[in-house]
Each structure stands twice: as C-alpha cells, then as structure tokens.
C-alpha cells in the first residue's frame, strides 16, 4: 500500500529567504593566514627537495663521465689528454670531452667531428650540440651566444699550482697551468702514474664559469708551445666557490705586491657550483664526492695532484 503523499506547500512570497551559511570576513582572513603560513613552511622543503634532486642528477653526470674516461683508458692504455694541442699556433685542439664520446653512446657524433692527427677536428659544427651529461641540472639555461656554441660546466683537474709542475709560464691572458694533475693539455695520464691512488685524486669537477664551448680543449700562444690557454681543465689555486672579486687572479705569482691590478686568468678559474656549500668532483676511480667550500686548502691541493706523495683519507 502506497504511503500518502504530502501536499506541496509553496512558501509565502512575503517570507524571508532562508539564511545561507558561509565564512565571515574574519574567518576568511584566518584561513588565508593559515594558507600563507603553510606555504612559507613547505616552500623551503620543496626547494630543498628540488635542489637535492638536481645535485643527485649532477653526481650521476659526473659518474657517467668518470666511467667513460675509464672505458677510454681500457681501450687506449691511458686516460685521454686534457686537450689535444694543435700543430699550429692559436688553432684549437679538441678537449677530453670529445675523446670520450664513443664511450658515452655518442659514437656517431664522434665520427662526425673527426678528430685529426694534428689535434684538431674535421667538423666543428658539433659545438652547437647539447650533450646532456656535460651540463649540470643546477646550471641556469644558457643564453645563446651569437654562434650558438654550447658549454660544459665539467672541467678536468690540471693539478695544484704549487712551485714547479707548470705547463706554461706568465701568459698575460691565461696565466700558468698546472701539469701535476689528472688532466692537462697533452697529459695522457696512465694509472701507474697516479701514485696517490685513484680514489684519492680529483679528476673532474664542476665550474660555474666558462668562456668556451664543450669541444674546444686548448690552444697555445707561441712557438715552441710554452704558453697554453686551457678551455677544458683548470688549476686548483683558489678555494671551492671562492669569491673572485675577493681573491682576484694573478699571473704565476704567490707574492702579489700591494695595489697590483687584479686580473681574471682563464687557467685559474676556480671550481665552483650552484649547490649550496660546495661542489662535486669525480675522482680518479669514477667515484663522486662533494667537497665543502670549507675544506682545508692544503688537503684540497693534495687531492689535485696525482703523485704528490700525500696519502689522505677522503675529507
């Protein structure tokens, strides 16, 4: 049996509308304030997580480069030279980055470039190609230069600029260049030469400033080639993340006279990164280590040489 239907009663046109529930102005302001506080609390955590992810990706890039360098050594009996030196003055030679391309699944690009016996290349157009493992994810997007040349932020460690062990002397633009480290022009370091141990020796590091493309290794300024500008390896002469305006750069002189003009020298551009507190390095065994900008500078120099006789644990 169906229940009786209730009659529909229309509201009186004179009846007031039903009250609507909602936020008062005070409640709305409280909610906005709470959202603002939560955002302020969460934003640093989100930024930190992104920074950690970029740093981890950067470490993977360095590890990939280290493994490619070792694959090259297994094939050729020596690590690639920090740069080939072209037979002719002021003509660029290719960098170690070019030489390891076949071991980074870039064999076709290597064949296109065609490194030549005189240290150069048949095709330099690959300067405009982006090689992902050569770029740190923390690096801001590169502003295209007029030639569309692409950079790398990973540089070989030429050594520590101590007394002796120089490859070139007193070049007005580039300065001295170390020759007691893993990578320098013409180096071709062998494992047996790394007397300090591959796990204690820096091979590749991050650099936040560069003036050349990823392909170019070095050129020399006069004959015989005693003055060399390196575009793929750097000295360790200044601390990690050093303030260039504070330190300045001077040509091969540790006792700079007061009032001397500070000059930026290409070979001395220090290793630095956009990671807070330090920079990452690939060691000679392809391991990756983050070095604090507070690292003792003597220890840092010791790690830059391959046969300095210093046996230290990792800092």
| Domain residue spans of the chain | 44-304
Report the C-alpha gap between 78 and 83 in whole angstroms.
14
**Stretch 79-93: mean pLDDT:** 84
pLDDT at 120: 86
For residue 119, give the nearest of 93, 80, 101 by alpha carbon.
93
| 306 pLDDT more than 90 | yes
pLDDT at 61: 95
Q: Containing H/E element for 167?
A: strand 166-168
For residue 152, give the nearest of 191, 97, 77 by alpha carbon.
97
Decide: 135 and 61 in contact? Cβ < 8 Å.
yes
Look up tokens 């169906």; give the residue: 2
**Stretch 300-309: mean pLDDT:** 91
SS3 state at 229: strand
SS3 state at 261: coil
Alpha helices in the chain (DSSP H): 25-76, 96-99, 107-113, 244-247, 297-304
| 274 pLDDT more than 90 | no
Q: What's the whole-number average pLDDT of the chain?
A: 81
pLDDT at 252: 47
Query: For residue 163, what pLDDT band results from cuts at 50, 70 and 90?
Result: low
- Range in 94-103, 143-152, 276-285 the model is least confident about: 143-152
Question: pLDDT tens-digit profile of 199-219?
Answer: 999 999 999 877 788 999 888
Burial of 2 (C-beta count, 10 Å sphere; 0-12/13-18/19+): exposed
pLDDT at 197: 94
Per-residue burial over 224-259, b if 16 or more Cβ lie within 10 Å, else e, is: ebebbbbbbbbbbbbbbbbeeeeebbbbbeeeeeee
Residues found in the chain: 315
* Residue-wise DSSP of 56-80: HHHHHHHHHHHHHHHHHHHHHSSPP
Query: For residue 95, what pLDDT band results from cuts at 50, 70 and 90?
Result: very high
Q: What percent of the chain has pLDDT over 90?
A: 39
Q: Are strands 278-283 and 93-94 parallel, antiparallel or unpaired?
A: unpaired
| 225 pLDDT more than 60 | no
| 237 pLDDT more than 60 | yes
Q: Are strands 177-178 and 288-292 parallel, antiparallel or unpaired?
A: unpaired
Report the C-alpha gap between 36 and 247 in whole angstroms.
42
Burial of 90 (C-beta count, 10 Å sphere; 0-12/13-18/19+): exposed
Structure tokens at 145: 């230069």
pLDDT at 136: 87
**Stretch 276-282: mean pLDDT:** 94
Q: Which position has the higher pLDDT, 176 or 166?
A: 176
The contacts of residue 167 (CB under 8 Å, 6+ apart) are 158, 176, 177, 178, 179, 184, 185, 228
**Stretch 253-270: mean pLDDT:** 65
Structure tokens at 104: 């980074």
pLDDT at 6: 57
Q: What percent of the chain has pLDDT over 70?
A: 72
For residue 174, give the nearest of 244, 237, 247, 265 by alpha carbon.
265
Question: pLDDT tens-digit profile of 2-56?
Answer: 555 555 555 555 555 555 556 677 777 888 888 888 777 776 665 565 667 778 8
**Stretch 236-248: mean pLDDT:** 76
pLDDT at 284: 96
Decide: 157 and 164 in contact? Cβ < 8 Å.
no
pLDDT at 126: 92
> How many angstroms separate the most distant Cα atoms in the chain?
114
pLDDT at 164: 53
- Range in 109-123, 173-187, 280-294 the model is least confident about: 173-187
pLDDT at 166: 56
Query: For residue 111, what pLDDT band results from cuts at 50, 70 and 90?
Result: very high
């Amino acid at each position: 049996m169906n229940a009786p239907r209730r009659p529909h009663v229309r509201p009186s046109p004179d009846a007031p509308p039903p009250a609507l529930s909602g936020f008062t102005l005070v409640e709305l302001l409280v909610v906005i304030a709470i959202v603002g506080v939560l955002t302020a609390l969460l934003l640093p955590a989100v930024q930190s997580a992104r920074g950690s992810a970029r740093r981890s990706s950067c470490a993977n890039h360095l590890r990939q480069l280290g493994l490619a360098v070792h694959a090259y050594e297994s094939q050729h009996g020596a690590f690639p030279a920090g740069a080939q030196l072209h037979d002719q003055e002021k003509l660029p030679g290719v960098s170690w980055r070019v030489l390891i391309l076949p071991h980074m699944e870039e064999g076709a690009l290597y064949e296109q470039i065609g490194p030549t016996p005189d240290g150069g290349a048949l095709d330099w157009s690959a300067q405009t190609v982006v090689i992902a493992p050569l770029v740190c994810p923390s690096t801001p997007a590169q502003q295209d230069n007029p030639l569309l040349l692409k950079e790398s932020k990973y540089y070989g460690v030429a050594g520590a600029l101590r007394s002796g062990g120089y490859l070139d002397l007193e070049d007005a633009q580039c300065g001295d260049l170390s020759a007691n480290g893993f990578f320098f022009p013409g180096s071709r370091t062998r494992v047996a030469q790394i007397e300090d141990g591959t796990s204690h020796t820096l091979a590749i590091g991050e650099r936040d400033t560069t003036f050349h493309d990823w392909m170019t290794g070095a050129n020399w300024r006069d004959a015989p080639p005693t003055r060399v500008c390196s575009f793929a390896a750097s000295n360790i002469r200044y601390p990690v993340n050093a303030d260039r305006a504070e330190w300045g750069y001077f040509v091969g002189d540790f006792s700079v006279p007061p009032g001397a003009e500070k000059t930026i020298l290409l070979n001395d551009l220090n290793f630095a990164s956009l990671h807070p507190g330090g920079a990452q390095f690939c060691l000679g065994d392809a391991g990756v280590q983050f070095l604090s900008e507070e690292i003792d500078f003597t220890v840092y120099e010791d790690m830059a040489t391959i046969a300095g006789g210093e046996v230290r644990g990792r800092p």
